[in-house]
Structure 1
Amino acid sequence: MSEEILINITPMESRVAVVENGVLQEVYVERPQRRGIVGNIYKGKVVRVLPGMQAAFVDIGLDRAAFIHAAEISTREGNAVESISALVHEGQSLIVQVTKDPIAKKGARLTTQLSIPSRYLVYMPGSSHVGISLKIEEERERERLKQIVVECMRAEGIENAGGFILRTAAEGARREEILIDIRYLRRLWEQMAEQMKTAVAPSVIYQDLTLALRTLRDLVTPRIEKIRIDSRETFQRVNQFVAELMPELADRLEHYPGERPIFDLYGVEGEIQKALERKVVLKSGGYLIIDPAEAMTTIDVNTGAFVGHRTLEETIFKTNLEAAMTIARQLRLRNIGGIIIIDFIDMEDEEHRRQVLRTLEKQLERDHAKTNIIGITELGLVQMTRKRTRESLEQVLCEPCASCQGRGKLKTPETVCYEIFREILREARAYQAEGYRVLANQKVIDRLLDEESGNVADLESFIGRSIRFQVEINYSQEQYDVVLL
C-alpha cells in the first residue's frame, strides 16, 4: 500500500493531506489566526469554582474561560476524587495543558497532568510510569523498549524525574534514538519549569509545533513513502528539523516546485469539497447520508440504485460492506468526533452482521484517533465513539448559514407570505397608517403579486388600507420588513 503526505503552505493557511493509493484519507487545516491549541501549556488563573459540577473555569488568555474537572487535578488513584473546593480556589494560579480545543460554544478542556511529546516518546513530569502504545503488539518488542527507557533513565540519573510513554513510532527504534529523545524532552522541561516560576497568569508556557512539523512527528509511519512540500522555505525548515530529530526521514522529503498546485495535482481539492457534502455516493450505486448534530453524528446507509445480481440479502450485504469501509474513511477525512450512530441497512443473516461490524473495526485500526465500537442496539443501529480533540473539517472551513441559522432548511415563500399577512394584521390593529410597504426577497414578492394576489386584495379590503411591495435584493428568503406609510 502506497502512502504519501502532501504539505501545502500559503501565507494564509497550512494544509496537510494523507493520501493512500491515490485516495485522500485525512486532511488537516491550520490558519495563523485560528491555530489549534491542543497540547499547549499555560499558566492560568482560576476564575470560578463549581462545586456542584466538581469543576472549575480557568482563564488561560482566550476569549472564553477553559474548563477543568476535579479528576484532571486530583492525584488520587482510582475513582476517589477530592472535592474541587479542596483542590483549587478562585484567584489561584494553575499550570494546565489543553486536551480539547474550544469547539462551537464550549471552552477548551484542561488537565494538570502534563505531557510533552517527541518523536518516539511522551514525557510526563508528574508520573513515574513507563508505558507503551497498545498498537505495539509484540510482547518481545514491548519488553525491549521498556528496558531501553529504564536503562537510559538510570544512566541519565533521572529515575525519579517523571515517566515516559513509548509511542507507536518507537517500534524498532534503537537505544541511541530513544536516548536523544529523552535528553531533548528533559532539556525542554527544564526550560519550561524555569519559565513557570516567573510567568504571570494568564500566559503561554509551551506551544505545540506548527502543523508541518507536527505532521512529521505524529503522522509519519514506515508506510509513508514520500513527504512532498510545495514551499521552499517550509521545506528547508522541515529539513533542519528532520536532520536534528528524525534523520531516517531525510530521503523521503521532497520539494514540489511544480506550476500546478499540489492539491490539484492529486485531486485533493475536489475531495475536500465532497467531504463537506451530506451525501457520499458509493461505487455500487448506494449512498451514505452524514448528518452532524450538536450531540452526535448520524450516518444512514441506503442501497440507492444498486440492485445486485442474486438476492436482496446479497445486495444489502454488499452495500453495507462497502459502506463500512467508506464510513471509516469519511470519519478520518471529516475528522468527526464524539458519539456516532450508524444505521446500516437491516440484515437478516447474523454472519453478515458480524462481517460488516468486523470490516468497520478493521478499517478503523488505521485511524490515528481513538475509536470504540460499543455494539448494535435493539433497533439495529451501530453505536461508536471517536475521540474528539480538534474541530471537524466542517467546523474549520464552514460557518452556520446566515439565512437558515444552521437548520439546513429555509421557510418556503408561501410560509413567509402568510407571516407577512399576520404581521400586517398586527400592525393594522396597533397603529393608524395610510398604508403599508412590504420589503422582501424577490421570490416572496413574486408570489405576493401572483399566487397570493387574491389574498392581498382581500387583506386590503379587510384593513381598509393599501399594501405596496418592494424587492430587496440583499434580503434572504426568510427576511422581510413591513413599513408604515
Structure 2
Amino acid sequence: MNKELIINAGPTGVEIAFLEDKKLVELHNETTDASFAVGDLYLGKVKKLIPGLNAAFVDVGFEKDAFLHYTDLSPYVRSILKFTQIAMNDKEPNGFDFSKFQSEAEIVKTGKINEVLNGKPHVLVQILKEPIAAKGPRLSCELSLPGRFVVLTPFNEIVAVSKKIHSSEERKRLHKIVEAIRPKNFGVIVRTAAEGKSTAELHQDLLALEETWKTIKTNLKGAVAPVRILSEENKTTSILRDLLSADFNKVVVNDKNLFGVTQSYIQRIAPDKTDIVSFYQNGLPIFDQFGVTKQVKSSFGKTVNLPSGAYLIIEHTEALHVIDVNSGYKSVSNNQEDNALETNLEAAEEIARQLRLRDIGGIIVIDFIDMKLPDNKRKVQEAMEGFMKTDRAKHSVLPISKFGLLQVTRQRMRPEVNINTSEACPACNGTGKISSTLLLEDEMEKRLAYLVTHGHKNLTLVVHPIVYSYLTKGLFSSIIKKWKRKFKTNLKVLSNTNYHLIEFRFMNEHEEEIKF
C-alpha cells in the first residue's frame, strides 16, 4: 500500500492529510494555539470529589474542570501522588534518583475515589480525551510515554509485547531484550514497529524516553498547579512516529521550518528513509496539487456518494451515529440479493474509511441493504472487519442482526472532524425562504413608479428567466403591458440566467444600472 503524508502549514495552524493509495483516510488539524492535546501531561489540582460518579473534577487550567474517573486512576496512583509531591519539593540540583523511588501499594479495582484522593491533592495527570463541546478534558493517571518502538510506563515492572506481533519466537526475543535493558521502576510495552529491530535500536528508544521522564521531573520542581508539565510532540512527528513503515513513501511539506523538523525527526528514527521528505514550493496550494481539497469536499457532509451510484447517509445523534446504505441506481445483475451484496461490500469499504476520516467514535449503527442469505451477511461482516484492520483506534464489529443492522463500537482518537461542505443559498441567504412573487411584483412596481416620477422614460428591467416568463405571460394582458399603460413609459424587460430568482435591476437608456 502506498502511503503519503501531505502537510499544509498556514498562519493559523497545520493541516495534515494522510493518503493511502492516493485516497484520503485521515485529516488532522493542529492550530497554533492548540492546548490540552491527547498525551499532554499536566499538574492538576483536585477540585471536587463526586462519590456518586466515583470520579473527581480536576483543575488543569481549562475553562471547565477536567474529569477523572476511578477506573482511569491507575493501580499505581498512590505512587504517582507520592512522586508528584517529591518532585515538586525536590531540592537536589540534579533531581532525585528515580531508580531509588519506593513504590506504594496498588489500589483495588473496586475502591472509592474519596479513599484515594482525599484531601484534594496535586496530581500528575495525562490528557486521555481532548475537550469537546461543553465538556472539559478527560484525564488518566495511567501515565505512558510513547516512543517509536516502545512505550514507557512508570511505576510498574511489567513488560508486554504487542499482540499484533504474531510470531511467538519474535515475541519471546523482544521480551527477553527489553527485560534486560528496562530501567528500574519502569514498565515497557513493546510496539508492533519493534518487530525485527535490534537491541541497540530498542535501547536507543528507551534512553530517549528516559530523558523525557527526567524532563518531567525537572518541570515539576517548584511547579504551581494548574500547569502543563510536558507537551505531546506536534501532530506531524507523532503521526510519523505511529505510522512510519516501509510502504510510507512520501512526506510533502510546504513550510521550510516544518520541513527541517520533519526531516530531522525521520533522520533520527529511520535514517534510511530521509529522502521521502520533500519541500513543496509550487504556486498552486499544496492540498489542491495533491487532490486533497477535492476529496475533502466530496467526503464530508450528510450524503457521501460512491463511484457506482450508491450512496451513504451519515447522521449524528446524541447517543450514536447512524449510517444508512442506499443502492441509488447501481445494478450489477437482475438478482436483488446479488445487487444488495455488491452494494453493501462497496459501502463497507467507504464506511471504514469514513470512520477514520471523521474519527467517529462511540456506537455506530449501520443499516445495510437487506439480504436474505446468512452467507452474504457473514461476507459483509467479514469485509467490514477486514477494511477496519488498518484503523489504529480500538474497535469492535458485531454480526448483522435479523433487522439488517450492523453495530460497530470505535474509540475516538481526537475530536470528530466536521467540515461544512454546503454553502448558503445566494437567493435566501440560508434561511430557506424567499419573498413571494406577489411581494416581488409589488416591489418592482414601487421602484418603477419612483423612477417614472423622477424623470426616467426609457427603462429596461433585467430579471431571472423564470420571473421574466411570469412578467410577460399573456399576449394582451401581461404585467409588463399593464405597467406600460399605467405609467405611460417605454419599459423593456430582459432575462439573465446569472441573476438569482428574486434579483432584479433597472437600467437607463444608456444601459447603466440605476442605484436606489
Alignment of 1:224 onto 2:222: no
Kindly state the Cα deviation for residue 183 of structure 1 after the two structures are TM-superposed. Answer: 0.6
CA pair 400-226 structure 1, distance change in 2 beyond 3 A: closer
Is the Cα contact below 8 Å between 1:243 and 1:250 reproduced in 2? yes
Kindly state the Cα deviation for residue 8 of structure 1 after the two structures are TM-superposed. Answer: 1.4
Aligned to 1:475: none
Is the Cα contact below 8 Å between 1:49 and 1:90 reproduced in 2? no
CA pair 443-93 structure 1, distance change in 2 beyond 3 A: farther
Kindly state the Cα deviation for residue 374 of structure 1 after the two structures are TM-superposed. Answer: 2.7
Counterpart selection for 1:86 from 115, 118, 121: 115
* Partner SS for 1:204: strand
Counterpart selection for 1:270 from 294, 303, 306: 294
Tell me how far apart the structure 2 counterparts of residues 27 and 265 of structure 1 sit (CA, whole Å): 16
Alignment of 1:285 onto 2:314: no
* Partner SS for 1:376: coil
Tell me how far apart the structure 2 counterparts of residues 40 and 324 of structure 1 sit (CA, whole Å): 34
Is the Cα contact below 8 Å between 2:37 and 2:127 reproduced in 1? yes
Kindly state the Cα deviation for residue 74 of structure 1 after the two structures are TM-superposed. Answer: 5.1
Aligned to 2:337: 313
Kindly state the Cα deviation for residue 146 of structure 1 after the two structures are TM-superposed. Answer: 1.4
Tell me how far apart the structure 2 counterparts of residues 340 and 51 of structure 1 sit (CA, whole Å): 31
Counterpart selection for 1:390 from 400, 414, 429: 414
Kindly state the Cα deviation for residue 217 of structure 1 after the two structures are TM-superposed. Answer: 1.0
Worse-matched range after superposition: 83-92 or 285-294: 83-92
Is the Cα contact below 8 Å between 1:47 and 1:90 reproduced in 2? no
Aligned to 1:476: none
Q: Match of 1:297, as an amino acid? A: H
Kindly state the Cα deviation for residue 134 of structure 1 after the two structures are TM-superposed. Answer: 2.2
CA pair 443-180 structure 1, distance change in 2 beyond 3 A: farther
CA pair 445-110 structure 1, distance change in 2 beyond 3 A: farther
CA pair 123-400 structure 1, distance change in 2 beyond 3 A: farther
Kindly state the Cα deviation for residue 243 of structure 1 after the two structures are TM-superposed. Answer: 2.7
TM-score relative to the length of structure 2: 0.74
Kindly state the Cα deviation for residue 402 of structure 1 after the two structures are TM-superposed. Answer: 12
CA pair 304-140 structure 1, distance change in 2 beyond 3 A: same
Counterpart selection for 2:277 from 247, 253, 257: 253
CA pair 55-315 structure 1, distance change in 2 beyond 3 A: same
The structure number with the bigger radius of gyration is 2
Tell me how far apart the structure 1 counterparts of residues 3 and 421 of structure 2 sit (CA, whole Å): 32
Is the Cα contact below 8 Å between 1:113 and 1:126 reproduced in 2? no
Alignment of 1:294 onto 2:323: no
Alignment of 1:175 onto 2:199: yes
Aligned to 1:110: 139
CA pair 89-168 structure 1, distance change in 2 beyond 3 A: same
* Partner SS for 2:170: helix
Is the Cα contact below 8 Å between 1:99 and 1:389 reproduced in 2? no
Alignment of 1:240 onto 2:269: no
Deviations 1:161-182 (A, max 9, x none): 2111112221222211110011
Kindly state the Cα deviation for residue 442 of structure 1 after the two structures are TM-superposed. Answer: 5.1
Q: Match of 1:192, as an amino acid? A: I
Aligned to 1:24: 24
CA pair 398-99 structure 1, distance change in 2 beyond 3 A: farther
Aligned to 1:15: 15
Kindly state the Cα deviation for residue 411 of structure 1 after the two structures are TM-superposed. Answer: 8.6
Tell me how far apart the structure 1 counterparts of residues 18 and 201 of structure 2 sit (CA, whole Å): 26
Counterpart selection for 1:304 from 303, 311, 328: 328
Identity of aligned residues (%): 35
Aligned to 1:344: 368
Kindly state the Cα deviation for residue 196 of structure 1 after the two structures are TM-superposed. Answer: 2.2
TM-score relative to the length of structure 1: 0.79
Alignment of 1:121 onto 2:145: no
Kindly state the Cα deviation for residue 152 of structure 1 after the two structures are TM-superposed. Answer: 1.6
The size of the alignment, in residue pairs, is 410
Paired residues for 1:392-411 under 5 Å: 392-394=416-418, 397=419
Q: Match of 2:361, as an amino acid? A: G
* Partner SS for 2:357: helix
Aligned to 1:459: none
* Partner SS for 1:95: strand
Aligned to 1:166: 190
Gaps of 5+ in 2: 77-105, 444-516
RMSD: 2.7
